[in-house]
Each structure stands twice: as structure tokens, then as C-alpha cells.
Chains A and B, each alone.
Chain A
Amino acid sequence: MTTAATKAGTRTAKAKPATMAQALGRALRDAMAEDPAVHVLGEDVGTLGGVFRITDGLAKEFGDDRCTDTPLAEAGILGAAVGMAMYGLRPVVEMQFDAFAYPAFEQLMSHVAKMRNRTGGAMPLPITVRVPYGGGIGGVEHHSDSSEAYYMATPGLHVVTPATVDDAYGLLRASIASDDPVVFLEPKRLYWSKADWSPETPAAVGPIGEAVVRRTGRSATLITYGPSLPVCMEAAEAAVAEGWDLEVVDLRSLVPFDDETVAASVRRTGRAVVVHESPGFGGPGGEIAARITERCFHHLEAPVLRVAGFDIPYPPPMLERHHLPGVDRVLDAVARLQWEADS
């Protein structure tokens, strides 16, 4: 699990193991300390420090007015954040779990995503909506959805998801600093992944929208993000034994989408597999595969394949390991890339 995360290691003497959860908390703290306009609000974010403890200590350090336990109402939380942003604050909203964010969809779709556009640029909304997402932690129903496709399909939103401890810090800081609304998807099962990390000298992260090559290779490209990055890194290591040298691209940002990095990689390798755990039908993989086909058709040696979660409601936790794309499924797809027209 830590393969990807540890890549950022060896930077300073001060670096020591930190979890993604700690890096996220540190990002919130630093953003609040730097800018009094940054306010955190959500369910249980105050005294409890959030159910995942991401906001731990913020209420104590900055007070209830800066880190606010709200009534239990997602539309109300996000709707209030809209008004706060209209008055010049930079709200960071926590949606406790992926599927609990759905009541706030109308606010997100009708107002958060559109306010800049509706007002001809006069009223941008610098809101960050943090959504813990995805499965693999044994959560019961409604605690493991991957809802990125809905957010991606809504113009006006940025959709960002870190897969490493460094990116968790850097991307969250960039999201809070963004004048546009950002849906910040936090891969739950990577919350406790560790890397050597120095909060005093956090890694520089470019503007939102830049993918990164996590592993270079020549045989094929695995394109992934968030919780599936460690899976792909592990698959790439395992593929070496099969004689395959896989490149792994971590998208980090689904909107804006980094066509350039993805296309450049696929042109080098000629083969691509998109890996994510949200359902495949109507999912991000279809869009990504289409974009690759449009840009790289003459470089492709095989169709772009997708490895995704099944097209089913998220299963009960005792069955989720069958649903989540694992290393074997990724390797199977890689094997299918040795494609011949008549096969």
C-alpha cells in the first residue's frame, strides 16, 4: 500500500512517517493559520475532530467559529457555505461519507458549480468540499461509494483526489487557495497509508490539473487515481516478472483533466488500461478511454481497456474484495493488451 507514498520520501532530515490523514489535517491547520477567511464546517468536525480525525484539534486552536459543528444536514451545510463564500470567507466543508453527500447535490449542482457562471464572473465561490470516498475499509452500506463520475459531469467544479501523503497536503492547500469550488475526494482506505513526510517542507504541488507519472515504463500505461494507485503500482511491480514494463500515471485531478500527460504517456507505450473502483458504466474510465482514442489512435496497439468496479450498488463489506479491482484484475487486463484483431 505504501509503495507510491514512499516515493516522495528521502527529502529532509526532519522527515518522519506520517499518514495521509495527518497530512490532510496539517493542510487544514496551515491554511487556517495563514488566512483568517478559511473556515471549516461539517458534522462532528469540532469537538470530535471528525469521524476520521482529519479536523482534530482545529476547534481547539481556532475556536468554534472557525471550525464549526453544524446541525446534521448536508444541504444546509453546503448551502450555508455558499452564503459564507458570498461574504468573502473560504469555507472548507466536510461531507462525512461519500453517500451522505447526496442530499447536498442540489446545492452543489445548482449553486456551487454555477455561481461564477450565473453571475458573469462577479461571484466566484472558493469552497472546498471534502468527501471521503471509496471502499476497502469494511464500511457498511452507504459508506463506500465512489461518486466521482457525478462530480466530473458537472461543469464548474474541480475534482481532485490525492493518492499520496505529499499530494494530500499539497492538493488540499491548492484546493483551499483556489477561487473555484473544488470537490476534494479523499480515498478512505489510504487515510492510514504512511510516508516519510516533513510538514515543514511540504512537497510543491503544481496547479490543480496536473497528472504525474509515478512509474516510467515502455510496455503499457496504467492510468489511475486515488485508492487505485497503490494497486496499480503493485501490479506494475508484479508485471516485471512477466516481462512487462508498465508506466503508471496518477491523474490527481479529474477536472481539469491532464490530456497532455496522459496522451504523451500512451503515445510512448502504445497501450493503456484505465483503473478505478467506481462502476465502469458511465464512469470516468469511459471518458478517459475516449479521450485517449481521440488523441492517440494511430499510436495504439490495442483498444484502451478499463478495469473498474462492477456496475452494482456498492456491495456489503464481506463481499467487497470481489468488487474492488485488485492486482490480478489489472494484470489480466495487461495480458489482454497483447491484442490481436481476430482474438
Chain B
Amino acid sequence: MTVQELPGAATYRPTPPPAWKPITDPAPLLPDPEPYRVLGTDAIADVDPELLLRLHAELVRGRRYNTQATALTKQGRLAVYPSSTGQEACEIAAALVLEERDWLFPSYRDTLAAVARGLDPVEALTLLRGDRHTGYDPREHRIAPLCTPLATQLPHAVGLAHAARLKGDDVVALAMVGDGGTSEGDFHEALNFAAVWKAPVVFLVQNNGFAISVPLAKQTAAPSLAHKAVGYGMPGRLVDGNDAPAVHQVLSEAVARARRGGGPTLIEAVTYRMEAHTNADDATRYRVDSEIEAWRAHDPVQLLERELTGRGLLDDEGIAQAKEAAERMAAALRDRMNADPELVPMDLFTHVYAEQTSQLQEQAAALRAELDAEQDHDHSAEEGR
């Protein structure tokens, strides 16, 4: 087998977009055969220019965040970072469509969505730095902990949305998952529960081509991941995941429908992971440069920038400003990540139960004694010098 014959991701082929149909309740279940697009089509005329500029600034910032975090792994400041470079449009749109009272259920790759929603960039990285699992209060930000097991956060989103509806709150839960995650049982159970309960949930699948090394063709035999919605009785939507205003529009429409009691939607955003699965992975073993190059021509930041400059909404100065803002964010992130996190070993026992069991009290006392002995040893070593 030559290199060129390696099975690749479902490659993106720009095609004329289908006519945009406003969705009514009950919405049609089957997705359109081609991903919905806004950039380069007539649909762009309907998008608020202010939103377009906001999306652009956030995309530039998100891209910079990804490169900075990746650099931090090389400096040993982050244990691991699963970059979402190439997928920024999905991440940003996910954050921007939600109201403050809504909830986001991110996967481990969705740091950027959490940050774009307003989470402190350092708090969002504690899991990946390795100092604590969740560095923020999920209730305060209405962002569930970044979820490492695949698709297990999806039923949580359903339960939360269901509970909110029972309480009479018009809260929507947006749950994010990758293409690989759609093969998990929890994905199936979550979609089924959501549809049966008419829970106000939006499922966003970022189809980035690979589950670590396994291409989509080996993941599913479905015509598209959005087609899976039909079997559950919910609308499926296919969108160009690199087209930020398109993702924003499709998500907004699904969120609005969920909010008014129309039930869940499954959205597949077709995008591409430009980097390896994480910095620990060697992507050259499973994909070819030509494929990456093809997608580079469809880069989400460039796509939007081209559209905005072409329409006279953005000039070189505007681009420079966005980049400067991103640089400031990156510099601050770098500075703060260069400080060692303060770790308290005794915290190991603090949050296992509401009240420590006698067993944990004994173990905590034992660790305390070890730490004290270490400290005494350090002191006597210093005195001896």
C-alpha cells in the first residue's frame, strides 16, 4: 500500500450550499445531504456584521490559545494538551450561542469552548497540567467538568436539561462529543433519553476525521453522523464545522428550538483536527500531508477573515488588533502557567466524602506524619550545611 492510499477522513468537498430552510416544529429529522454553509453564500447577508467580527476575534484568540497551550507542553508546563486547532469555529460557536443560564458539557478537547464561555484560561487547564481534575466550580460557570471518558457526559446533559425543564427553567444544555464518541453506548442512551423526554439538549458532534488514529470510515457505516438522529426521532443537522457563522446559526436554531420545548437536536459539524490527537501522538502514522494541506485551504480563521475583508468589514488594522489581543492573552497565560501551582497533599483526603470516614482519617494522619518527617529531614539538612 502506498502512502497515498491510506484511508483518510471524509474529506471536505466545497459544494454549493443547499437553500437555507427555516426549521419549524416538528422539524424534519433527516439532515440535508451536504453540510450547511454561510461563508461565500448569499446567507452571509443575513448575519449581523457585529457577530461576524466577534466570531473573528474569538477565532484568532482561540487559535493563539491552542498554539500557546501546545508550546506549554513542550516546555513541560502542561502534561498533555489535545489541541483543537482547525476546530475553533465549533468551539467558539458552542460558547457564543449559549445564554448565561445554559450549561455546557465539554469533552477533554473542548478547553477552548470553556474559555470562550468566560472560564479563566488557567482554571481550564488544571486537568491537563495535572494539579487538579477540575479547576473551577461547575455551578458558577455552568460548565460541567471537562470529560475524559468518551460520551459519558452526554447523559449528564440530558439529566440536567430534564431537571431544569421539570423546575420550569428555560435552560438548555449543549453537549459536545467527537466522532469517535458517537460509537459509545452512552451516546446512544443519551440521545434516546433526550428524545423520549423531549429534553432541551443540543448534541454537537465535532467530526474531526479521526478518533486518535481511526478514520471515520472505520468508525461508522452511517451516511453521516447527523443521520443517527433519525432513529431517535430527533432532527439531525449537518454543518460545515469550519464555517463559524454557519455553526453559530445551526446551533442557535437548535438551542432556540430546545428552549421553546421542541426537544433535542443532533448536529454534526464536519471539521478537521490539524494537529495530532495530543502532543503524545504521532499523526504521521495514520494520515497524509496532502489531506492536511487540503484542509489548510479551508482553515476556519482564514475562511472568515477572507469573507470579512472581502466585504470591507475588516482591514489589516482590524486583523492586527485581533492578533494583538490574542498575543496579550497568550503572554498572560504563559506568565501564569510558569508559576508552579501550589499543591496541598492533605487535600487528597478532603473531598472524597462530605465527612471523612475513620479510614480516611487514619490515612490522612499517616500522610501528615510522613510530611512532617520530610520537613524535619529538610530542616536538619539545612542546619547541617
Please list the residues of chain A having a beta carbon within 8 angstroms of any beta carbon in chain B.
Answer: 39, 65, 70-71, 73, 75-76, 78-89, 91, 103, 106-107, 110-111, 114-124, 155-156, 158, 178-180, 209, 255-257, 259-260
Contact = CB atoms under 8 A, between A and B. Distances in A.
Nearest to A85: B159
Query: Interface majority SS on B: helix, strand, loop or mixed?
Result: helix
B159 A88 contact: no
Interface string B196-213: 100000000000000000
B190 A76 contact: yes
B275 interface: no
Interface stretch (B47-55, B64-72, B348-356): B348-356
Interface in B267-291: none
B159 A86 contact: yes
B155 A80 contact: yes
B160 A83 contact: yes
A89 B359 contact: no
Interface stretch (B27-35, B81-89, B130-138, B256-264): B130-138
Given A78-B155, A80-B159, 12 more contacts: A65-B166, A71-B189, A82-B156, A84-B159, A86-B159, A87-B163, A91-B159, A107-B155, A107-B186, A110-B152, A120-B133, A257-B357
B173 interface: yes
24 contacts: A65-B166, A76-B158, A79-B190, A80-B162, A82-B155, A82-B159, A84-B159, A85-B159, A86-B138, A87-B163, A88-B163, A110-B152, A117-B351, A119-B133, A119-B138, A119-B351, A120-B132, A120-B133, A120-B347, A121-B351, A155-B352, A156-B352, A158-B353, A178-B354
Contacts of A209: 357
B163 A89 contact: yes
A200 B157 CA distance: 39
Contacts of B144: 86
Nearest to B169: A87
B200 to A, nearest CB: 12
A118 B133 contact: yes
B193 interface: yes
A300 B215 CA distance: 62
Contact of B137 (A73, A89, A110, A119): A119
B192 interface: yes
B156 A110 contact: no
A62 B159 CA distance: 19
Given A120-B134, A121-B351, A83 B357 contact: no
Contacts of B157: 83
B193 A71 contact: yes
Given A80-B159, A89-B163, A106 B152 contact: yes
A120 B173 CA distance: 23
A89 B196 CA distance: 20
Given A71-B193, A76-B193, A83 B139 contact: no
Q: Which of A256, A257, A260 has the most CB of B within 10 A?
A: A256
A119 B156 CA distance: 15
Given A155-B352, A180-B353, A79 B359 contact: no
Contacts of B134: 118-120, 122
Interface in B139-155: 139-140, 144-145, 149, 152, 154-155
B152 A87 contact: no
A87 B160 contact: yes
B149 A110 contact: yes
Q: Which of B158, B167, B185, B189 has the most CB of A within 10 A?
A: B189
A76 B167 contact: no
Nearest to A78: B155
B159 A75 contact: no
A256 B357 contact: yes
Contacts of A106: 149, 152, 186
A73 B138 contact: no
A68 B135 CA distance: 34
B161 interface: yes
Q: Which of B154, B164, B353 has the most CB of A within 10 A?
A: B353
Contacts of B196: 71
A96 to B, nearest CB: 16
Interface in B314-356: 347, 350-354
Given A81-B159, A83-B158, A257 B359 contact: yes
Given A71-B196, A73-B193, A75-B189, A156 B353 contact: yes
